[in-house]
Amino acid sequence: MIFWTVFIVDVLLIFAGYVVNKNNAKYLMAGYNTMSVEERKKVDLENLLIFWKKFFVILTFASTLIFTISYFMFSEAVTAVIWSVCLIIPWPIFIYKLQKFVK
């Protein structure tokens, strides 16, 4: 059962990384979609989207790798906790690094 959970989360993360583009970012990106037109002009959207995609791909790969390694070393419950923590920890860093794309 846990394998299906990891697989579905991986698909969703990859989907989130690749579905957002310059044309639909104003509808799909939280925070960006509530900005005024003047505020959006201050955002370096092209580089932000490159960072966005890279973040989601790395998060997917790293969390799956850590899940796989911990699955063979620990029980399924401990593996689930380790995997969950690996998914949570990068988000504050992601939010912090997003600030550099606003002029």
Quote the CA–CA distance of 19 and 61 in Å, as a whole number.
Answer: 18
* Residue 38, pLDDT score: 94
CA distance readout (Å), 94 to 2, 27, 65 = 26, 20, 20
Q: What are the pLDDT digits (tens) for 10-68?
A: 999 999 999 999 999 999 998 999 999 999 999 999 999 999 999 999 999 999 999 99
| HSE-CB for 32 with a 13 A CA cutoff | 24
* Residue 81, pLDDT score: 97
Largest CA distance in the chain: 52
Residue 103: band (very low, low, confident or very high) from pLDDT cuts 50, 70, 90: confident
Residue 1: band (very low, low, confident or very high) from pLDDT cuts 50, 70, 90: confident
Q: What is the pTM of this model?
A: 0.90
* Residue 64, pLDDT score: 97
